[in-house]
Amino acid sequence: MKVDTSSIIIFTDGACTGNPGPGGWAGIVAMPDGRIHEVGGYNPQTTNNRMEMVSAIRALGILEPPLSCDVILYTDSTYLIRGITQWVFGWRTRGWKSAEGKDVANRDLWEELLRQIGRLKPTTVNWKYVRGHSGYPGNERCDQIAVSYAKGKPEPLYVGATDGYFVDLNELPAEDSLPDMKPKGSSGSSKGGSGKSGGGPVTYLSYFNGVVTRHTTWAECERLVKGRNAKFKKAKSRDEEREILSSWGLDPQMAID
């Protein structure tokens, strides 16, 4: 899906080396006038869910109302999306108690997130789910920043014009439904090691300097594309690989290294 230049586009992500443990958060804010603003930060002892929430709070926090367009925010956190679009209203009505009568976790951040959304009204924040490591540069760049902060080796943050940005934001994630909720008691994921849980892709394709490469893992693909204006995407079958090549304007039957 092509970038909507009439909206403010935001990507956010959080990471944690251990859950709880040292964490990092990141956001990319792309303005309709062509400005890009990366944000990121560190917390010495936190959880992955808190970092996901902080990333959204801080990214929305740099916006100055009144805004002349809506905001589209992409995140791979189902906890964040379900919380802000479904659960938070019941929690607030019950005095920040869950349906079981327990104190709601991360209440301080939920209240701050609601404050940020209220501050931007009448602008609407549209929450969009994107699967982690699905080959969309905005999401992958946020992951890179968040993990770097969690590991105590922060990436330099970019603030400037789109023309000078090394991340290709010309393609936005397609609409993707939220995955089924995990059963209660299942552990949350932590990023910085193996990344978020879920079925891994069959392959990753990258395209850099006129060469298409097939990678068997995201780590292998990341080593090639990191910090470069390269194309990359996850493929679950050979047919999907050919579709990706066609979308990049390449011959779908070409040989892949």
Q: Which among 118, 117, 123, 114 is positioned nearest to 87, based on CA atoms? A: 114
- Cα dist from 9 to 49, 56, 194, whole Å: 22, 12, 27
The one catalytic residue among 76, 112, 155, 222: 76
Half-sphere exposure of 24 (CA within 13 A, CB side): 21
Q: Which residues contact 69 (CB under 8 A, 6 or more apart)?
A: 6, 7, 8, 32, 123
Sign of the dihedral through C-alpha 155, 161, 165, 170: positive
176 among known catalytic residues: no
The one catalytic residue among 38, 112, 143, 222: 143
143 among known catalytic residues: yes
The pair of three-digit structure tokens given for residue 6, joined into one six-digit string? 């009439």
The one catalytic residue among 133, 155, 195, 241: 133
The one catalytic residue among 38, 52, 112, 140: 52
d(CA 107, CA 96): 7
The one catalytic residue among 13, 140, 155, 241: 13
d(CA 50, CA 77): 11
User: Interior CA angle at 188 toward 185 and 190, to 5°?
Assistant: 155
How many residues in total does the chain contain?
A: 257
User: To 10 degrees, what angle do helices 48-61 and 137-150 make?
Assistant: 120
Q: Which residues are catalytic?
A: 13-14, 52, 76, 133, 143
